[in-house]
Amino acid sequence: MRKKLIFIFLRTGLILSFLFMLGCANFSLQDTGNIFHPNTSNKSQFHNISITCDNVPQKDLLLCYMEKGLSFHYKKKYNKSNIFFLKAVELMDKFNKISIREQSSAVFINDKTMTYRGEYSERLWVHTYLMINFLLQYKYEKALVEAKQALKIFDEYPGSLKNDYFTRALIALCFENMHKYSDARIEYEKLSQIIKSKKNLLKICGPDMGELILFVGQGSIPHKISKDIILPPLIRISLPHYTNSYSHLPVYFNYTNKIPIMITTNLGNIAATSLKKRTATLIARHSIRTSTKEVIAKKIGEKSHIAETIFRAISLLSEQADTREWQSLPGSLTMIKLILQPGFHNISLSLGNTSKNLEIKNLEIHAKKKVYRSVRF
Amino acid sequence: MNKIYFKFLFFIVGIFSLILCGCSATTRNINITDEVHYDAGYDFSDKKQIVDKLVNPLLLSTFLPSSAKKPILIIYPIANETSEHINTGGITDDIRMKLLRNGKFRFINKGQRKNIEKEIQYQNKGYVAPFMRIEQGRQLGADYILSGTLRSIAKKQPKHWRLKRKEMIYYSLDLTLTNLKTAEIVYADQAEIAREASEPIIGW
């Protein structure tokens, strides 16, 4: 009798815990990727959306910092952008631990209950945008610190990130600015090997010339969606993947007699590769979750078929892929390096064969100095 | 039945009490002379240690020619060549303060030059009585430049099946004193710190 009562308490406790975690998971049938951009069809208008991180759950805080950092970057408020990106970096540094609580809730509910740690690519791009911000502010020493942090991430995830040419070129530029020409040459050589270019990417402009460095973003990164398969009886397999990659368009500008150095990264391709590298972990966790739920369902089914059906239905609805992503990123990033005569210049950029144009008027170039601009189509 | 019920209730209350005790927020003052480290990274204890290691030998050294005139120093920012955002201004300010208090050196305030120029321009615009205006061309010229570089080497244990991961960071700050007239390095010293920290890979 006593053993039976203890067993009833433990079983009730287990079911209540499951329902409690289900409630706390805050899942909804709406795609959580739309938390920060609820009714935006045109993602490149993100800078008009006001985002607050105060009421964001702890598990989505990294995402909020990333979005807010990028929002301020394109509003040209680089100090504020840095504050949020540095908060993101601080948060990412705490992600070295495996949380038992989160792993347990992920095994019972879904991956959305876990703290969002960012794709490997997204963690790199936090440092990429910090480098850009510091360069735009001419804080070369701080930019180099971020370059070194970015290099650590490249070393940690070489397979996923090796085709991020833009960030590698940016790292080389940061070394160049601090007169670390040996380190810059190493990075440019690595880049030349990857993109199979014979151009000398380390071009030091002559004493009478200045340099314009443009960071051009275009389009939007592809959306992360879930791929669902329903198996009998009421087992749902839901895994995230990226939609079709953004088709990068060439950037033209009015200085046709100049041959700039252009280095482009398609962010969608890198993000998709990063996600693929995590597939094995996602499938393993998914399998454990499915088998755990199956065991619980069968145990409940021994007592009541109706309860088993209800449990299976709840499990089906709760099984959702983690489609959280840094939505406001551009589809591609291009670095354009152009050597110009000192003086005032009017730069006009156009995107492929589209009617999209950008103008930078009265840009002052000084001899032996670099001028930076960040623009987005 | 009642006994089991009360035991279960007592167990739940006990668990919640432990959770609440663990979650309570506390604050306390820390003695700045104590070494307190939460991880292997740079913190205020390191700054204090570096400054003490560099200032004391500089004060005791005999590289300067013996004369009644105190040497005039100008401090240039310490270059940060680490992979962390470290405010090296704090280190230079502490070094300057200790050397100044000792009385062996005089310092030029490089950071205030633009403000001094602004103030003098304001005075000469006619707002300030002529007898109170600062006479230009009377600023001190430095004899020596004090500069330095902060470097670090960081190593983390590679990913393996283990319960803890260790991280080791080595910092070194090289300080040099350069004669402005001859460009000769008349004094050089180095402060080094190395620390190892381990943190569990699995947590709550």
Interface of B with A in 157-176 (CB under 8 A): 165
Q: Is A312 contained in some domain?
A: yes
Percent of chain A with pLDDT over 70: 83
In whole angstroms, give the CA distance from residue A124 to residue A6: 51
> Using the beta-carbon criterion (under 8 Å), do B85 and A2 form an inter-chain contact?
no
Mean pLDDT over all residues of chain A?
83
Which residue does chain A place closest to B82, by CA atoms? A145
> Which CATH number goes with the domain that contains B85?
3.40.50.10610
Indicate which of B8, B23, B83, B149 best probes the interface with A, i.e. most A CBs within 10 Å of its own CB.
Answer: B83
End-to-end CA distance of chain A: 73
Measured at the CA of A303, the angle between CA A301 and CA A307, to 5 degrees, comes to: 55
- DSSP annotation of A116 reads P
Asked whether A338 and A260 are in contact (CB, 8 A), the reply is yes
Distance, in angstroms, between B66 CA and closest chain A CA? 38
Q: For the segment A187-233, what is each residue's pLDDT rounded down to a tens digit?
A: 988 888 887 765 666 666 667 889 999 999 999 999 898 888 887 77
ipTM exceeds 0.85, yes or no: no
Q: Which residue has the higher pLDDT, A196 or A308?
A: A308
Q: Which residue has the higher pLDDT, A9 or A215?
A: A215
Q: What's the structural domain count of chain A? A: 1
User: What is the pLDDT confidence band of residue A51, given thresholds at 50, 70 and 90?
Assistant: low
Please provide the DSSP assignment of A230-285 as one string: EETTTEEEEEEEE-SPP----EEES-TT---EEEEEEHHHHHHHHHHHTHHHHHHH
Q: Is B75 contained in some domain?
A: yes
User: Which pLDDT score, from 0 to 100, does residue B200 have?
Assistant: 73
- DSSP annotation of A113 reads G
Distance, in angstroms, between B6 CA and closest chain A CA? 12
> Using the beta-carbon criterion (under 8 Å), do A99 and B82 form an inter-chain contact?
no
Q: Is A7 contained in some domain?
A: no
Residues of chain A found within 8 Å of residue B10, distances taken between Cβ atoms: none
A2: nearest CB among B4, B81, B201: B4
* pTM of the model as a whole: 0.81
Residues of chain B found within 8 Å of residue A152, distances taken between Cβ atoms: 83
Q: Is A202 contained in some domain?
A: yes
Distance, in angstroms, between B132 CA and closest chain A CA? 39
Q: Is A31 contained in some domain?
A: no
In whole angstroms, give the CA distance from residue A331 to residue A223: 10
What is the residue whose two structure tokens read 């409690």?
A20
How does A189-212 read in b/e, with b if 16+ C-beta sit within 10 Å?
ebbeeeeeeeeebbeebeeebbbb
> Under 8 Å CB-to-CB from A239, ≥6 apart: which residues?
A226, A227, A279, A282, A283, A286, A321
Q: Which amino acid is at A251?
A: V
B4: nearest CB among A5, A98, A144: A5
> Under 8 Å CB-to-CB from A301, ≥6 apart: which residues?
A307, A308
Q: Is B66 contained in some domain?
A: yes
Q: Which helix (H) or strand (E) holds A361?
A: strand A357-365
Q: Is B114 contained in some domain?
A: yes
Q: Is pLDDT of A35 > 50?
A: no
Residues of chain B found within 8 Å of residue A144, distances taken between Cβ atoms: 81
Q: What's the structural domain count of chain B? A: 1
Give the C-alpha distances (Å, rounded to integers) separating B161 from A131, B40, B170, B201. Answer: 34, 22, 25, 10
Q: Is A53 contained in some domain?
A: yes
Q: Is B190 contained in some domain?
A: yes
Distance, in angstroms, between B135 CA and closest chain A CA? 35
Q: Which structural domain range is residue B192 located in? A: 40-200
Q: Is B172 contained in some domain?
A: yes
Residues of chain A found within 8 Å of residue B80, distances taken between Cβ atoms: 141, 145
Chain center to CA of B4: 60
Phi, psi of B143 (to 5 degrees): -95, -35
Nearest to B175 by CA among B19, B37, B55, B32: B55
Distance, in angstroms, between A7 CA and closest chain B CA? 12
Mutual angle of helices A267-277 and A120-136, in 10-degree steps:
140
User: What is the pLDDT confidence band of residue A13, given thresholds at 50, 70 and 90?
Assistant: low
User: Which pLDDT score, from 0 to 100, does residue A39 have?
Assistant: 41
Interface of A with B in 301-360 (CB under 8 A): none
User: What is the pLDDT confidence band of residue B67, given thresholds at 50, 70 and 90?
Assistant: low
Q: Which structural domain range is residue A334 located in? A: 43-376
Interface of B with A in 52-81 (CB under 8 A): 79-81
Q: Does A4 touch chain B (CB under 8 A)?
A: no
Q: Is A32 contained in some domain?
A: no
> Which CATH number goes with the domain that contains A317?
1.25.40.10
> Using the beta-carbon criterion (under 8 Å), do A86 and B204 form an inter-chain contact?
no
Q: Is B33 contained in some domain?
A: no
Q: For the segment B135-191, what is each residue's pLDDT rounded down to a tens digit?
A: 888 999 999 999 999 999 988 877 666 677 788 899 999 999 999 999 999 999 999
Q: Is B61 contained in some domain?
A: yes
Q: Is B15 contained in some domain?
A: no
Asked whether A88 and A69 are in contact (CB, 8 A), the reply is yes
Q: For the segment A262-283, what is each residue's pLDDT rounded down to a tens digit?
A: 899 999 999 999 999 888 888 8
Q: Does B39 touch chain A (CB under 8 A)?
A: no
